[in-house]
Structure 1
Amino acid sequence: ELKAREDAIRKIVKEIKKAKQERDFRLILVHGAGPFGHGNVKEYDIDNGVFTERQKEGLAKTVKDCSFLNSLVVRELNQAGLEAIGMNPNGLIVQEQKKIVEFDTKGVEKTLSEGRIPVLYGQMVPDKKLNASVVSGDAIIAYLAREFKPDGVLLGTDVDGIFTDDPKGNPEAELIKRIDNENFDRVLERVGEAKTIDVTGGMRGKLMKLRENLKDSRVVIFNITKEGNLYNLLKGEEGIGTEIYF
């Protein structure tokens, strides 16, 4: 049975609330699907399209599980007094060969303009060639960043940023404090692939998407599980995690 880390969600919500009480900013929240998505995608073999009856069954289960996780996140935000609206990408995004080709962002814009927090997430969405395909949280962030031109893009993970190797397996791995066009290729050579099941490409995939889509944005990859990190970044502090400029 899948269980969400509700204590971790609450801590994140608490830091957002604290930062919002001290500084006025608008926020779009995008979360991944974690095991609620990746496990199903592997089990039902739906990473490359949905064609068989079993794959259709897997699609329905994945959409339901990812939506359930989103409902937990949105509930915690609202219980903390932060008005949040969950937005299912399944009704907003159409892909072709796993690439976003249509994205109706009018609801996101309206929600933001009303002072609420739109909450989107990694999900299975319609695909013109594959019937359905995975849209990752990273792909959603990249698209929305191009559309809304935010002051910053904060990518929370469970490590302190981008390292020269997987820090969970190699204690000698060093944190890379800044990535830009000068050192990008060298960094890419050294960054290890994710060791966990992640059908959306791990840290290397994240970096490739960032360079492709997030030019002229300040991007920070940081450890969201470390208390105070998210709060401090939302307050505008620097020097946390890996800062990326393209």
Structure 2
Amino acid sequence: MANPLSPLVFLKLGGSLITDKQRPYTPRLDVLRRLAEQIAVARQENPTLRLVVGHGAGSFGHVPAKRYGTRQGVHTPQEWLGFAEVWKEAATLNRLVVDALLEAKLPIISLPPCAAVTADDGRVAVWELYPLRAALQAGLLPLIFGDVIFDRRRGGTILSTEDLFEHLARHLRPQRILLAGIEEGVWRDFPHCTELVREITPADIEAGRLQLGGSQAPDVTGGMESKVRQSLALVQAIPELEILIFNGEKPDAIRQALAGENIGTRLHA
């Protein structure tokens, strides 16, 4: 049973990291296995670590989501068919992630957001968190993912892992949120990518010291600029929180981040 006072960390395995975003429905199984092994090592090094894992939809869910415009709203029979297709692809990738983590002897338990979350105009309105809290208390690793969600105004929508983490963070108060993708972090000069920004605060944006760029992989839920703005809003709301955006492809990067090291770009209040 986990100690509720132990450090809590949220880790997202980005869709660009665990799938080939340029090739539809293509998982990167070798990468998934390597990431799972690093998480297992980090937990061996720090058995008290409490961890919520999330993953993106990558080249699975984003394909039908873009075709049907699911994030913007779901109303017609054709759009509801698309909603179901996005659900299927997100669930398919989720099963691959579960398999990889269980193979590494990690006590993972998937908690599909579609069945637990209600949205209102693209934001979490209701989420019964008892199962997730109980999983953490039992020493399990709750796994969530970007998923289709029933929405009071839009009919249906998609919430990204970052959207879900934002809501969870306000209720569970993690020390860190780790966003692992294929970028080194946030580039000052994207797409040239020669100058990495090591640290970002809300004041940097307000003072105009940083112009936000994009990322290599297409993403129907917003991409890098959206990720940074959402993260900065969250660290303003939770000043003790820090968020890392980093390259999960690098050997040992996941373990380092879980061990508390600062890699990639660090966002804080």
Range of TM-score over shorter length: over 0.9
Using the TM superposition, name which of 142-151 and 207-216 deviates more: 207-216
The answer as to whether partners of 2:182 and 2:248 remain within 8 angstroms in 1 is yes
Distance 1:209 1:61 in 2: 27
| Pair 185,193 (structure 1): closer, same or farther in 2 beyond 3 Å | farther
Task: Please list the CA deviations of residues 198-230 of structure 1 after superposition, one character each: whole Å capped at 9, or x if unmatched.
Answer: 111111111111122233201111111111111
What residue identity is the alignment partner of 1:13? A
| TM-score (structure 2 length as normaliser) | 0.85
C-alpha distance 54-244 of structure 1, shift in aligned 2 (>3 A): same
CA distance in 1, matches of 2:69, 2:167: 26
TM-score (norm 1): 0.93
Give the deviation of 1:196 after TM superposition.
3.5
2:211 corresponds, among 190, 196, 202, to 190
Question: For residue 13 of structure 1, what is the aligned residue in structure 2?
Answer: 36
Aligned residue identity for 1:3: T
User: Which position in structure 1 is the counterpart of 2:234?
Assistant: 213
Query: What whole-Å deviation, never above 9, does each CA across 1:46-97 have from its counterpart, x for those lacking one?
Result: 2311111211111111101101111111111111111101111001111111
Pick which of 210-219 and 9-18 moved more.
210-219
CA RMSD of aligned residues (A): 1.6
Separation (CA, whole Å) in 1 of partners of 2:118 and 2:209? 30
Q: State the match for 1:22 in structure 2.
A: 45
* Mapping for residues 102-121 of structure 1, pairs under 5 Å: 102-121=126-145
Report the equivalent of 1:162.
186
- The 3 A distance-change label for structure 1 pair 67 and 186 is farther
Structure 2: 5+ residue runs without aligned partners? Answer: 1-23
- List runs of 5+ in structure 1 lacking aligned partners: none
CA distance in 2, matches of 1:125, 1:165: 35
Structure 1 segments, 4+ long, off by >6 Å, are none
1:9-58 CA distance string (max 9 Å, x none): 11110100011111120100011111212111111222311111211111
Q: How does 1:1-246 map to 2 (within 5 A)?
A: 2-24=25-47, 25-166=49-190, 169-172=191-194, 174-185=195-206, 190-194=211-215, 196-214=217-235, 215-216=238-239, 217-238=241-262, 240-246=263-269
* Distance in 2 (alpha carbons) for counterparts of 1:232 and 1:141: 21
Bigger shift: 201-210 or 184-193? Answer: 184-193
One-letter amino acid of the structure 2 residue matched with residue 78 of structure 1: L
The letter of the residue matching 2:221 is T
| C-alpha distance 69-187 of structure 1, shift in aligned 2 (>3 A) | farther
Going from structure 1 to structure 2, the CA distance change for 1:188 and 1:36 (only over 3 Å counts) comes to farther
**Percent identity of the aligned residues?**
29
Distance 1:245 1:100 in 2: 23
CA distance in 2, matches of 1:187, 1:9: 38
Given that 1:87 and 1:118 are in contact with CA atoms closer than 8 Å, whether structure 2 keeps it comes out as yes
The DSSP-based 3-state class of the residue aligned with 1:222 is strand
